[in-house]
Amino acid sequence: MKPKDSGRRSFLKNSAALAGLAVGAVRTASGQSAPSENSSERPKDLHAYGERSRYETSARLGSMGLYDPAPEGYHRDFGYRTPIQDSVGYITPASVHFMIAHGYEPPDIDPAEHHLLIHGLVEKPLIFSMSDLKRFPSVTRAHFVECNANGAPAGPTGKYRIAPEATAQDTHGYTSCSLWTGVPLSTILKHVGVKAEAKWIIGEGSENGKHTKSIPIEKAMDDALIAYGQNGEALRPQQGYPIRLLVPGWEGINNVKWLRKIKLVEEPYMGMWESTKYPSLRPDGLSRWFQFQMGPRTVITRPSGGQKLDGPGFYEISGLAWSGGGAVRSIEVSTDNGKTWREAEIQSPVYPKAHVRFGFGWEWNGEETILQSRCTDELGERQPSVVELAKFWKVEPDFFIKTGTIPGHFNAIQPWKINSDGSVQNAISF
């Protein structure tokens, strides 16, 4: 046994009192709201908590998609997209990390009053305070989070149509990558004792909609986290403060924010979102209820839609790649609309289930052309073209447009057209 493992086992074995009291002896995790903060009481001194330069204006785009009231022509965008085209490196600042809350504003939760209930098919149902959770050994890992709708055929943010003016923020703004800090969920589950008949966990949030999600026990015991930190500080309210589930490489809907309950059960609950909103319609009229792992994907962020080249000459083509199947192993770039492909340079570090930055030196001759990128992950899976993806799902390429649905995740190659005047536009076609 490794010394590190021995220490962890000893910690768990001798921490019976760590979680405090069993269920029934402590108030339930209600996610009670603290009084609203008075903005005037926040420090104005920029040295106390820094702000970016006033010359930097990149921001999220979107809307919360509130349901009531619903005005005429109402479009439910359900969230805000990351300005991925302005990103540098591979980590997304927490302030512009994409946000989806299914139309509900983030709850204002006092961490001193917040608790996490673990119950159901466990040996010791327990309620954990934030202090309890932070006494367990923690880990910090880089992982992306991605909505299942990311990369889907779309025009400007909030409009379901293909449009040449679409930017990378419009097409790929529903993914972000952070350094997450928290307790492995497996550590907590081992502490409470998982019964043999437990096959799924049900996570529940504290927002008004009380989002719930069913997750197989195998994933819960693998690499899932109960995260309380992001990029070196506490989670932001939009990202689940004070705690959230972090389920690496899987659809964003699994990453339950404002986490207050985890129940272990024999079967999935088939809650509203996972049974009616997130299943993918198949050509035979049936639906795929559960879609978990996100496929390999890249997006060129410079140059990309809405940007403009100054004129012929040297440019670095730069972008991001990621895969729910593990680490990205290779990235290729085409500067001639897919006729030829050449290896791009992968910038370190390369972590599993995390964004990685790539670069490719290119001499533009001033002529119209189309740029593309694709990657292959450690499982050997390569990012497909629209035609290849349609073939995989056994549909015609225009199925995505005609039906307005996708049989599975849409991780097709994203092309950008470089016009002779240097302007860049969305060039995806079906």
Domain boundaries defined on the chain: 3-8+20-29+76-275, 297-426
Q: Where are the beta strands (DSSP E) in 3-132?
A: 61-63, 79-81, 99-100, 115-120, 126-129
68 vs 182, higher pLDDT: 182
Instruction: Give me the mean pLDDT over the 184-202 stretch.
Output: 98
CATH T-level fold of 297-426: Immunoglobulin-like (2.60.40)
Give mean pLDDT, residues 347-357: 97
Residue (of 283, 245, 249) closest to 262 by Cα position:
245
Query: For residue range 211-235, what is the model confidence (pLDDT) as tens digits?
Result: 999 999 999 999 999 999 999 999 9
Please give the Cα distance from 356 to 317 (Å, whole number).
Answer: 14
pLDDT band at 66 (very low <50, low <70, confident <90, very high): low
- The 3-state DSSP class for residue 293 equals strand
Tokens of 39: 């903005």
Residue 25 confidence (pLDDT): 35
pLDDT in tens, 324-333: 999 999 999 9
Count CB-CB contacts under 10 A for residue 50. 7
| Cβ contacts of 293 within 8 Å, gap of 6 or more | 249, 250, 324, 325
Topology adopted by domain 3-8+20-29+76-275:
Sulfite Oxidase; Chain A, domain 2 (3.90.420)
Q: What pLDDT, in 10s, does the model give residues 132-147?
A: 999 999 999 999 999 9
The token pair that represents 240 in the structure block: 């689940």
Higher pLDDT, 19 or 326: 326
Residue 280 has pLDDT above 80, yes or no: no
Looking at residue 18, what DSSP letter applies? Answer: T
Would the CA dihedral through 116, 28, 273, 235 be positive or negative?
Answer: negative
Contact 315, 309 (CB under 8 A): yes
* Residue listed under structure tokens 């079967």: 267
Is residue 349 very low, low, confident or very high in pLDDT (cuts 50, 70, 90)? very high
Question: Two tokens at 275?
Answer: 């049974």
Structure tokens that stand for 255 in this block: 């990453």
Strands of 328-334's sheet in order across: 342-343, 328-334, 369-377, 416-418, 424-426
pLDDT for res 16: 43
Whole-model pTM: value is: 0.87
Question: Looking up tokens 């996708």, which residue turns up?
Answer: 406
Q: CA 195, CA 123: separation in Å to the nearest integer? A: 7
Contacts of 52 (CB under 8 A, 6+ apart): none
The answer to which of 63-72, 308-317, 361-370 has the lowest mean pLDDT is 63-72
pLDDT of residue 73: 58
Alpha-carbon distance of 387 to 409, in angstroms, equals 14
Q: Among positive and negative, which fits the CA dihedral 90, 95, 100, 106?
A: positive
Amino acid at 74: Y
Q: Find the helix or strand (DSSP H, E) in which 9 lies.
A: helix 3-13
Element (DSSP H or E) covering residue 186? helix 185-192
Task: Kindly state the average pLDDT of the residues 70-92.
Answer: 82
* Choice between 11 and 251, residue whose per-residue pLDDT is larger: 251
Q: Inter-axis angle of helices 3-13 and 185-192, to 10 degrees?
A: 50
Residue located via tokens 């024999």 = 266
By CB atoms closer than 10 A (0-12, 13-18, 19+), residue 91 is middle
**Both tokens of residue 77?**
């965008």
